Amino acid sequence: MAIKNDGQWERVILVGVDTGAETDFMVGMEELEQLAEAGLMETVGVMVQNLEAFHSSLYVGTGKVVEIAQAAEQLDADTIVFYDPLSPSQLRNLQKEIGRPVMDRTALILDIFDKRAVSREAKLQVETARLQYLLPRLVGMHEALTRQGGASGSQSSRGAGEKKLELDRRKISNRITELKAELKEVAANREVQRKMRTSSTLPLVSLVGYTNAGKSTIMNAMVDTYMQDKDKLVLEKDMLFATLETTIRRIKTGQHQEWLLSDTVGFIHKLPTGLIKAFHATLEEIKNADLLLHVVDYSDEHYQEHMQVTLDTLKELGAAHIPMITIYNKADKCMADYPTIKGNDRIFLSAKQRAGLSELVGMITEAVTSDHVAVDFLIPYCESGIESYFIEHAIVDKKEYLEEGIALSVRCRPADRDRYGWYVVDR
């Protein structure tokens, strides 16, 4: 949609109505321009109208529609992008009056997701959301179709356009049903993988935050430093929604501690409900995390609003209760003294500069081992595999080879203490 036949970016005009309901409306309009850029669109004009309420049939006032049409002609705009969700009738009326393709913010985000989806699951999720968005808009066009032939209400007298619409509607409904069945199958496979990870007892640490805050940069910094495997790096790009896929990497820090680190789609102001529902299985990874790393672009003047969007979304997902470390990323752009740790749950760092990574690892280690207990084990030599397990999954404070076995003093998870309770000795 965004690239024209001549290879040029699609030229768009952004339009919004400020009713006073949003205190940060202009911030939202700036973000709409960033979304357009992420969708490979060039913004050639921005038009804002102040109204007490949206026009019921046109979103903007009738006079403003004329202005938009004239501006589109003068600026050679290909498409008009509206800030708020448009109803089916508004969409239809605006396209008729302006004479150019029209889309709203939701359609733009869906278009970006469609371009970025790579895995089978992401493609299924995006297609489901797109079709669910399209379906009511097909229905909304129903009454506008020209009826050809006899009396209304007669099945055989309906116009060809109307019959085509109903056929398309059935096809879309059937396809949505198919997609949901496929997603259910993918979700089942994901649940199996999740149970396997749970059985490994490794903590799950999930990166969350506003889109383009630097989650993938932190993931890559961890992978590059502690895994040293270039094949495990994820896409890292300075644009909204660079990451749609859920990626999980096993991070082993060399401090007798390792965990699973996951990265998934970022949040955004007014993220379409259809996308949240479609990506529900993917976002389940967040709900099952032992620790959340809330990544914030500290250099963004609106970072506090972005933080609130993330917290609200986590609450909506049922993940607000999970322990969290807040990472104020990109500190190199706005402060001289970094990395800096405040308390046990806030750190100011620069993932791109690799400044503060070791300090962050220390905070993560402390957080995921907060429930660990100090235990002494005496392990028979014939069970040396248990010694290897604790070296991999616990913090070994002392190891001694005695005549009767291997004496280990460790800090481990209560589940591991109970699992090998036969070998616990009194301190």
On the 0-12 / 13-18 / 19+ scale of CB atoms within 10 A, 232 is middle
For residue 194, what pLDDT is reported?
66
- 253: Cβ contacts below 8 Å, ≥ 6 apart: 226, 361, 365
Q: DSSP state, 266?
A: P
Distance CA 124, CA 183 (A): 7
For residue 239, what pLDDT is reported?
62
Phi, psi of 331, rounded to the nearest 5 degrees: -65, -20
Question: Is the Cβ–Cβ distance between 57 and 89 less than 8 Å?
Answer: yes
Say if domain 10-113 classifies as CATH 3.40.50.11060.
yes
pTM, whole model, 2 decimals?
0.78
Q: C-alpha angle 134/135/136, rounded to 5°? A: 100
Q: C-alpha angle 23/274/104, rounded to 5°? A: 55
Q: Tell me how far CA of residue 276 lies from CA of 69, 149, 196, 220, 271, in angstroms.
A: 34, 44, 25, 25, 7
For residue 142, what pLDDT is reported?
44
Distance CA 260, CA 422 (A): 29
Distance CA 296, CA 318 (A): 20
State which amino acid sits at residue 66.
Answer: V
Q: What tens-digit pLDDT sequence spans the chain (427 residues)?
A: 455 555 578 999 999 999 999 888 998 999 999 999 988 899 999 999 999 999 999 999 999 999 999 999 999 999 999 999 999 889 989 999 999 999 999 999 988 888 877 778 888 888 998 898 888 887 544 443 433 334 444 444 455 556 667 778 889 899 999 998 998 888 787 777 766 655 566 788 999 999 889 998 999 899 888 877 666 666 556 567 766 667 888 888 876 578 889 888 788 888 777 777 767 666 777 888 999 999 999 999 999 999 999 999 899 888 999 999 999 999 999 988 999 999 889 999 999 999 999 999 999 988 988 888 999 999 999 998 999 888 877 888 899 999 999 999 998 889 889 999 999 998 7
- 367: Cβ contacts below 8 Å, ≥ 6 apart: 291, 323, 325, 344, 345
The beta strand positions in 105-257, using DSSP E, are 204-209, 247-252
- The top-level CATH class assigned to 373-425 is alpha beta
Tens digits of residue pLDDT in 191-205: 777 666 555 667 889
Residues found in the chain: 427
For residue 157, what pLDDT is reported?
45
H runs (alpha helix) in 239-356: 273-278, 280-287, 303-317
Q: DSSP state, 226?
A: I
In whole angstroms, how large is the CA radius of gyration of the chain? Answer: 27
| Residue 67, CA atoms < 13 Å, CB-side half-sphere | 12
CA nearest neighbour of 142 among 108, 119, 167: 167
CA 27 to chain CA centroid, nearest Å: 20
* Residue 69, token pair as written in the block: 């049409």
Task: Kindly report each contact of residues 129-134 with a partner whose C-beta sits within 8 Å and lies 24 or more positions away, as own/partner.
Answer: 129/272, 129/274, 129/275, 129/277, 129/278, 131/172, 131/175, 131/176, 131/179, 132/176, 132/274, 132/278, 133/106, 133/107, 133/272, 133/274, 134/172
- For the domain spanning 202-368, the CATH number is 3.40.50.300
